[in-house]
């Protein structure tokens, strides 16, 4: 584990009575890890040189000013997310944001983008196959029992043909960089990935805080995402001749990602609807209740989990869903993005097979590698995991948001024993991975500038065409040494710059 003594960084005597520089790159200690901006103390990587020079020229109070400007912008813009507490309450928090951006040079990004497109293409072919012939199972490439025990496999979706054969229209793939500088895929979020609005807002905040930097850098813009999303959704419309009526379906304002649902609807000029706004007619079409009566909806970007979508279709007692929605979708009268059942591939055990899927469906080598993954369902691998809990990260196959995972090196003996029992009890539901030494980015902490671990979540759109966001959402673990970047678990975020050579 790479940690850094942040206090050490700041405990230098400030030159008395002089204007003190707040950031001294000579004293920025990255330890043994990989830092995204700095190669070694005092040596910024080439693309980061203008940024580091600029930051180094600011006085302590100028930096404080920039920080407050960002905080003010976030407050005023009302960028919030909701945290669920164990007591069952929820609170709205301002989005934690660090003003120092993360930089990825465009030549490196082009390779990542190609890798993401390749990966999502294979995943969509896999999902379509799973709900049709299951050729990949018959070919012996993918084990039958993983499907049989999948909580995200939807019997109701078998045989359905969504437009373009695409099921996962919006995918958020988490990338991490290890000590050696190599980029790995950590997981693919294919159900209802969130975070893209923060990516867009982070850029707006950074433009307000560091306008002068945008004059010196050639930074690829990110703000065409909403129009790309709109075009992708429109390409799914069952009435391609007309201009499609698109709606974003949200569980409501108490959902942790509500801010994003509202934001995207606004940016796309789509209706933001709740379950109660929609009804399915006996013609299998979906209608919105409006002040003029009922109006038909063609495409629904749904931000509600499968099982809550339709109490009739999935036999649940969901109050936030739309009775009959599944029927309308199967009849081809409305498009749903992502398609119900797409989550079958959003499973950390299924994840382990993605490189094989790329080979099986596309006949290609994976451009982006997986993190080595042990499947606890396999006896040999399970024994290895149980014997090495102290150096592995154990994750439940179906959870998200960083909940319910064990970071072996940080865990107590009791926690490890508890996980050993959990794994024994339900081996299919657990995977383990080596503890990666996630790369860091310089971050302004309470104690001053210090390296903090980051990941990256780009978003991939698939409809009639494919699109990858320019960069993505960089999430940062604000606690020293922490590897957990989820906003619900004390994480923050940074702006991500894809820059052309300067």
Partner 1 sequence: MLSRVAERLYWLGRYLERAEGTARNINVNTHLLLDLPKGTAFGWEPLIFIMGGEELFFQHYRDAGQQNALEFMLADPRNPSSICSSLQQARENLRTLRDVVPREAWEKLNHLHRYANDHYAQAIGGRSRFPFLTQIIDGCQLITGLLTGTMSHDEAYEFVRTGRNLERADMTTRIIDVRSASLLPKHTGDLAPFANIQWMSVLKSLSAYQMYRRQVHVRVSGAEVLRFLFQDAGFPRSVYHCLGEMQQSLSALPRNEVPRRYVMRLKRQVGEAIVQHLAHEGLHEFIDNLQVALGKLHDRIRATYFLTEAPAPNSRSLAA
Binding site for partner 1 (CB under 8 A): 75-78, 253, 258, 262-263, 265-266, 269-274, 276-277, 279-283, 287-292, 294
Q: Please, which residue, 328 or 375, has the CB nearer to partner 1?
A: 328
Q: How far apart are CA 292 and CA 492, in angstroms?
A: 43
Alpha carbons 142 and 284: distance in angstroms, whole number: 36
Nearer to partner 1, 231 or 274 (CB): 274
Select 30 or 278, whichever has its Cβ closest to partner 1: 278
Nearer to partner 1, 84 or 294 (CB): 294
What six digits make up the tokens of 282?
A: 């006996």
| Residue appearing with tokens 């994480």 | 491
Closest CA to 410 of 431, 426, 394, 429: 394
Q: Which is nearer to partner 1, 276 or 409 (CB)?
A: 276
- Rg value, the chain, Cα: 23
The distance of closest approach from Cβ of residue 325 to partner 1 in the complex, given in angstroms and rounded to an integer, is 12
Give 294's contacts (C-beta < 8 A, 6+ positions apart).
279, 281, 287, 288
What is the C-alpha to C-alpha distance for residues 454 and 187, in angstroms, rounded to an integer?
15
Residues written for the chain: 502
The string over 351-377, giving b where at least 16 C-beta atoms fall within 10 Å of a residue's C-beta and e elsewhere, is bbbbbebbebbeeeebbbebbebbbbb
Axis crossing angle, helix 258-268 with helix 196-209, rounded to the nearest 10? 80
Between CA 106 and CA 501 the distance in angstroms is 8
> Which residue number, 241 or 291, has a Cβ lying nearer to partner 1?
291
Measured from the CB atom, the residue of 12 and 239 that comes closer to partner 1 is 239
DSSP label at 277? G
- Smallest gap from Cβ 495 to partner 1, in A, equals 20
Strand (E) or helix (H) holding 230: helix 225-234
Name the minimum Å distance from CB 38 to partner 1: 36
Contacts of 271 (CB under 8 A, 6+ apart): 245, 246, 247, 248, 265, 277, 288, 297
- Beta strands of 156-201 (E only): which ranges? 170-177, 183-189
Residue number, 94 or 139, with CB nearest to partner 1: 94
**Closest among 334, 332, 333, 357 to 344, alpha carbons compared:** 357
Both tokens of 321, joined, read 């869903």
The least distance separating partner 1 from the CB of residue 69, rounded to whole angstroms, comes to 15
Beta carbon nearer to partner 1, 193 or 226: 226
Nearest approach, Cβ of residue 254 and partner 1 (Å): 10
Nearest distance from residue 74's CB to partner 1, in Å? 11
Cβ 312 to partner 1, closest distance in Å?
12
CB of 252 to partner 1, least distance (A): 8
In the chain, what is the straight-line distance between the N-terminal and C-terminal CA atoms, in Å? 34
Q: How far is the CB of 346 from partner 1 (least distance, A)?
A: 28
């Amino acid at each position: 584990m790479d940690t850094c003594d942040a206090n050490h960084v700041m405990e230098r005597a400030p030159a008395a009575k002089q204007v003190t520089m707040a950031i001294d790159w000579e004293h920025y200690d990255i330890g043994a890890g990989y830092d995204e901006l700095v190669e070694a103390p005092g040596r910024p990587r080439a693309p980061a040189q203008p940024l580091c020079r600029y930051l180094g020229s600011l006085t302590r109070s100028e930096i404080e000013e920039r920080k407050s400007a960002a905080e003010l912008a976030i407050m005023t813009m009302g960028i919030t997310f909701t945290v669920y507490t164990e007591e069952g309450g929820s609170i709205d928090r301002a989005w934690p944001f660090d003003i120092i951006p993360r930089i990825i040079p465009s030549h490196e990004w082009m390779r990542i983008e190609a890798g993401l497109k390749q990966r999502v293409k294979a995943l969509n072919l896999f999902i379509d196959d799973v709900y049709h012939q299951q050729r990949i199972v018959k070919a012996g490439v993918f084990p039958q029992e993983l499907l049989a025990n999948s909580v995200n496999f939807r019997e109701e979706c078998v045989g359905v043909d969504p437009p373009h054969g695409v099921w996962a229209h919006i995918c958020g793939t988490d990338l991490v960089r290890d000590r050696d500088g190599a980029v790995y895929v950590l997981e693919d979020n294919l159900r209802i990935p969130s975070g893209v609005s923060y990516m867009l807002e982070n850029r707006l905040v950074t433009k307000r805080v560091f306008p002068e930097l945008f004059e010196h850098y050639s930074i690829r813009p990110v703000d065409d995402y909403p129009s790309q999303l709109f075009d992708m959704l429109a390409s799914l419309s069952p009435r391609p001749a007309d201009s499609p009526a698109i709606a974003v379906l949200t569980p409501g304002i108490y959902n942790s990602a509500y801010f994003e649902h509202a934001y995207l609807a606004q940016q796309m000029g789509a209706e933001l609807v709740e379950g109660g706004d929609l009804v399915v007619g006996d013609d299998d079409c979906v209608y919105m209740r409006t002040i003029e009566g009922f109006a038909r909806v063609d495409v629904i970007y749904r931000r509600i989990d499968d099982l809550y979508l339709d109490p009739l279709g999935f036999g649940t007692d969901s109050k936030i869903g739309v009775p009959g929605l599944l029927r309308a979708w199967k009849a081809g009268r409305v498009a749903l993005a992502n398609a119900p059942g797409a989550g079958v591939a959003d499973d950390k055990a299924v994840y382990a097979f993605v490189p094989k899927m790329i080979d099986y469906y596309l006949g290609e080598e994976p451009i982006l590698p997986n993190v080595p993954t042990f499947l606890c369902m396999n006896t040999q691998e399970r024994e290895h995991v149980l014997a090495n809990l102290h150096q592995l990260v154990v994750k439940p196959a179906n959870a998200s948001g960083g909940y319910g995972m064990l970071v072996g090196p940080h865990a107590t003996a009791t926690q490890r024993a508890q996980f050993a029992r959990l794994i024994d009890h339900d081996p299919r539901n657990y995977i383990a991975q080596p503890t990666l030494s996630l790369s860091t980015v310089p971050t302004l902490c309470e104690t001053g500038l210090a390296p903090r671990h980051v990941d990256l979540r780009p978003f991939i759109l698939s409809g009639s065409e494919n699109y990858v966001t320019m960069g993505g959402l960089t999430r940062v673990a604000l606690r020293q040494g922490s590897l957990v970047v989820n906003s619900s678990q004390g994480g923050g975020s940074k702006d991500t710059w894809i820059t052309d050579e300067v």
